[in-house]
Amino acid sequence: MKVPNTLRTVDNEKVIVRTVEYDDGTVIAVDFGNSAADVSVDIVGSTAIVVTDGDQFEFELPPEASDVTVRNGVLTITD
C-alpha cells in the first residue's frame, strides 16, 4: 500500500509518516505529534478528511485500505 501524496507533503515539519509491512498486511502511520492530540478523521466514500489544530486536508484512501483510525494524535491506515 502506497502512502497518499497528500500525506507525504503535509505542511508540518513535526509530522512523521511511516509505512510498516507485516506478513498479513501493511499499516501507514501518520504521527502528528504531541501538540495535535485532537486529530479527527471523517471518511466520505473513498476520501479521508483530517482535521488537526484548525488545519484541514483531505486525501484519497489507497484502494486496499480497510480501516482508518485516529488515536493519541496518530492516524493509521490499515489494509
* Vertex 59 angle, CA 19 and 29, to 5°: 20
- Residue 56 pLDDT grade (very low, low, confident, very high; cuts 50, 70, 90): confident
List the chain domain ranges.
Answer: 5-78
**Residue with cell string 509530522:** 15
Q: What DSSP state is assigned to residue 34?
A: G
Q: For 5-78, CATH number?
A: 2.60.40
Q: Convert the pLDDT of each residue in 8-25 to its tens digit.
A: 766 566 788 899 999 999
Q: Are 71 and 56 in contact (CB under 8 A)?
A: no
Q: How far apart are CA 30 and CA 70, in angstroms?
A: 9
User: pTM for the complete prediction?
Assistant: 0.83
Q: Convert the pLDDT of each residue in 18-46 to its tens digit.
A: 999 999 999 999 888 776 668 899 999 99
